[in-house]
Structure 1
Amino acid sequence: MRAVTVRPPEPDSLALSDLPEPEPTDGELLVDGLAVGVCGTDREIISGAYGRAPEGHRRLVLGHESLGRVRQAPPGSGFAAGDLVVGVVRRPDPEPCGACAHGEFDMCRNDGYTERGIKERDGYAAEVWTVEPGYAVPLDPGLERVGVLMEPASVVAKAWEQVERVGARAWFAPRRVLVTGAGPIGLLAALLGAQRGLDVHVLDRVTGGPKPGLVADLGATYHTDELDKVTSALQPDIVIEATGVGRLVLDAMAGTAPYGVICLTGVSPSGRHLTVDAGCLNRELVLENNVVVGSVNANLRHYRQAAEALAGADAAWLERLITRRVPLDRFAEAYAPAPEDIKVVLTLGE
């Protein structure tokens, strides 16, 4: 079978490799890969910034945003041949911390977890892969064209869960949410905000392309002004920050209404220094009872929430998030960003 691989931490080692087809063990599902999504994490692994191959192996199979069709399922697994399925990314530490022991492996406290396509486990960018039934999530058959969005949607589902849990520390009846960044995470965050009946606003610097129309078709409002101007006018109850841009992260912390919740989902690059009035920022957070929370990855509960959110969305709208589909034999094109990309998908089969 063919698979997209790298040799971490060697930069620019991306290749289409011929590998033996995996043999399912211990009740695993055998799955024909249909597609994988491409994101910034993949590009950082390709650059050599991080990523670890499985123990005893030189190459790592990429791909953590999966979609496949079950070829073979053992009796009693809850799956059958032909089912659409997504594989969970993270696995808990075999010597679990308290969070992992309670099924909250996305909150692992000791770095002993592994991740498909990222850290010590081969990923899903292969024509065939296996997955344990307990780490496979079924998808509605109607989501075949867009089911590859499940993993980023799970990250967003977790972010919303975190916001609502933090808000529930006292009375919480949010009306308005501002999402910064109209990439896949930002647009899916806006979708889940609209599904909650909130007044949704999205900020991005792009004025053309598909993003403004996608936001408008959610019944949301698209902004391109400076963040401080937008937050001053809106006074959002919730900010979901999906850019990782340092200046926006700091401005978002100071931009909510009192008793606001800011959820950071974008990962900022290190090495850039910004001047911050730390005293003023602290004063606003304390005196307004604001909360800043970081959120990354997802556990099984969030994948199931994501499956429900995608099933309840307009499939045509979801499909517009996928701006390029690249066949496996042209794999390198999928990892080279283009100006109007939202979500790029590498197609593996069918």
Structure 2
Amino acid sequence: MRAFVLTGPRRGAVLEVPSPEPAPGEVVVDVERAGVCGTDVEFFTGEMAYLHQGHAAYPMRLGHEWAGTVSAVGAGVDPAWLGSRVMGDTMLGDRTCRRCRRGHQHTCEDRQEVGIRGGRAGALAERLAVPAWSLHTLPDEVDAVLGALVEPGGNALRAARAAGAGEGDRVLVLGPGTIGLLTAMFLRAAGAEVHLLGQDALTFARSLGFAHTWTRDTLPDLPFDAVVDASGAAELPALAVEVVEPAGRVVYIGLSARPSELDTRALVMKDVTAVGVLSASPALADTITAYATGSVDPRPLVGATLGLDGVAAVLGGERFAAPKVHVDPRR
């Protein structure tokens, strides 16, 4: 089959590789859509921390946001999965450790991550092998485009919920990228007044109906009941605490390339609750429901759908009017 293979920093190509066979407990999925995200770019540039921590190594196959159809099942898997339209969890815990047994398999020390960690090949390929237990069925209302947006949407839904905001609350989202905009959509669906701060892409945010968009210089002096940092800027975690209301909540889902600085005395003196969000795992099912019912429609975030031959250019910096790029490996 054809797959995009990353062989080193800024080196990758579409190659012919062996098609996966389902191991016991696994299925093979024919991939219909796969998203490209910032994590993939970090692997392309060589900056991704996992490369330096021993959790990942070249060559590798990227792609952890995906949707497709089950085409084969391994031993011990219910054959009823065949033909099912699915997406899957990125985080694959060992299912035996204390964290997994307590329902936190996405934090398992020995986890694999599809297309990211532990040698588990990703979805920038025509076919993908994953454990059957990691699958989520997609209803008819959730096509492949929406299905490949479930994983980033699950991250955003967790961030929005962690903000604890609803009717009558004002929330500031830092960073108008895919996760920031998805978080803003979920907050808006919950009834919150949503504001966005960024350096660019604000015109696009306004096209999605977000009227309150600001730069650092134009941010008004308003009481924000919660702030979500979905940026990759090392200085913005501190800004979140600075502008949030006393007794408010700050949510951190963005990751910067260098350590951020945050004075915990500010958290204490303002009685602020700070929450970190890793992984979409606990919110995948609810994200599918939100998309199926139409309470959140993330389709406008997809700026282009390319074939595998277009992946290298996107990883190298090619951008489109909307932040998310999808890949159809069948092209």
What's the TM-score, normalizing by structure 2? 0.87
Q: What is residue 105 of structure 1 aligned with on the other side?
A: 105
Q: What is residue 239 of structure 1 aligned with on the other side?
A: 227
Q: What is residue 138 of structure 2 aligned with on the other side?
A: 139
CA shift, 1:174, in A, is 6.4
Distance 1:83 1:287, change over 3 A: same
The answer to which of 317-326 and 198-207 deviates more is: 198-207
CA shift, 1:291, in A, is 1.6
Q: What is the identity percentage for the equivalent residue pairs of Structure 1 and Structure 2? A: 27
Partner AA of 2:197 in structure 1: L
Q: What is residue 280 of structure 2 aligned with on the other side?
A: 298
C-alpha distance in structure 2 between counterparts of 1:153 and 1:340, whole Å: 19
C-alpha distance in structure 2 between counterparts of 1:328 and 1:224, whole Å: 36
Whether the 8 Å contact between 2:227 and 2:249 is mirrored in structure 1 is yes
3-state SS, counterpart of residue 224 of structure 2: coil
Paired residues in the alignment total 325
Partner AA of 1:162 in structure 2: A
Distance 1:82 1:138, change over 3 A: same
C-alpha distance in structure 2 between counterparts of 1:16 and 1:262, whole Å: 41
C-alpha distance in structure 2 between counterparts of 1:333 and 1:255, whole Å: 38
C-alpha distance in structure 2 between counterparts of 1:246 and 1:129, whole Å: 35
CA shift, 1:268, in A, is 1.0
Per-residue displacement from partner, 1:41-61 (whole Å, max 9, x unpaired)?
Answer: 101111122356x99996211
Q: What is residue 229 of structure 1 aligned with on the other side?
A: 219
The answer to whether 1:270 aligns with 2:270 is: no
CA shift, 1:149, in A, is 0.8
Per-residue displacement from partner, 1:260-288 (whole Å, max 9, x unpaired)?
Answer: 1100111011178x7x8x4xx62x42233
Distance 1:208 1:163, change over 3 A: closer
CA shift, 1:245, in A, is 1.1
Whether the 8 Å contact between 2:114 and 2:121 is mirrored in structure 1 is yes
Per-residue displacement from partner, 1:135-154 (whole Å, max 9, x unpaired)?
Answer: 01111223223221111111
What is the correspondence of 1:280-295 to structure 2 with a 5 Å cutoff?
Answer: 282=265, 284-295=266-277
Q: What is residue 59 of structure 1 aligned with on the other side?
A: 59
Segments of 5+ residues of structure 2 without an aligned counterpart are: none
Per-residue displacement from partner, 1:43-97 (whole Å, max 9, x unpaired)?
Answer: 1111122356x9999621111111111223579748543322112111114662x
C-alpha distance in structure 1 between counterparts of 2:307 and 2:279, whole Å: 27
Partner AA of 2:18 in structure 1: P
3-state SS, counterpart of residue 125 of structure 1: coil
C-alpha distance in structure 1 between counterparts of 2:46 and 2:236, whole Å: 27
RMSD of Structure 2 on Structure 1 (CA): 3.0
Whether the 8 Å contact between 1:67 and 1:87 is mirrored in structure 2 is yes
Segments of 5+ residues of structure 1 without an aligned counterpart are: none
Distance 1:162 1:105, change over 3 A: farther
Q: What is residue 128 of structure 1 aligned with on the other side?
A: 127
C-alpha distance in structure 2 between counterparts of 1:325 and 1:57, whole Å: 27
C-alpha distance in structure 1 between counterparts of 2:302 and 2:167, whole Å: 33
What's the TM-score, normalizing by structure 1? 0.82
Per-residue displacement from partner, 1:14-49 (whole Å, max 9, x unpaired)?
Answer: 121211111112132221011111111101111122
Whether the 8 Å contact between 1:244 and 1:265 is mirrored in structure 2 is no
